[in-house]
Amino acid sequence: MNEPRPVLRRCVACRELLDRQQLWRVIRDHREGVLLDRGMGRSAYLCPTEACLDEARRRKRLNKALRCQVPDSVIATLQERLSFQRDSR
């Protein structure tokens, strides 16, 4: 049996190539707008770290990657996830 090969995606902030499963996925869905983890359309990937989220927010990397305005609520949700990860450690 073949090992499933990881699908590599580039983080929009640090530009590292990483296994897609380790990254957050932000999708510009055709109908619903910008979504996290699900949807059909242009996708941007981001490391689940404070450094990359900060960088992405300050330089508007997600907006540029998705070619649209990413709502603050999306960024806020990612920040919540980060603090949740911190608290559960």
Q: Residues in the site for Zn ion, rule: CB under 5 A?
A: 11, 13-14, 47, 52
Rounded CA-CA distance 56/62 in Å is 6
Q: What is the closest distance, in whole angstroms, from the C-beta atom of residue 76 to Zn ion in the complex?
A: 19
Which CB, 33 or 55, lies closer to Zn ion?
55
Closest by CA position to 75, among listed 47, 54, 44: 54
Q: What is the closest distance, in whole angstroms, from the C-beta atom of residue 44 to Zn ion in the complex?
A: 11
Which CB, 33 or 63, lies closer to Zn ion?
63
Token pair of 23 as six digits: 């990254």
* Cα dihedral 26, 27, 33, 36 sign: negative
Q: What is the closest distance, in whole angstroms, from the C-beta atom of residue 27 to Zn ion in the complex?
A: 17
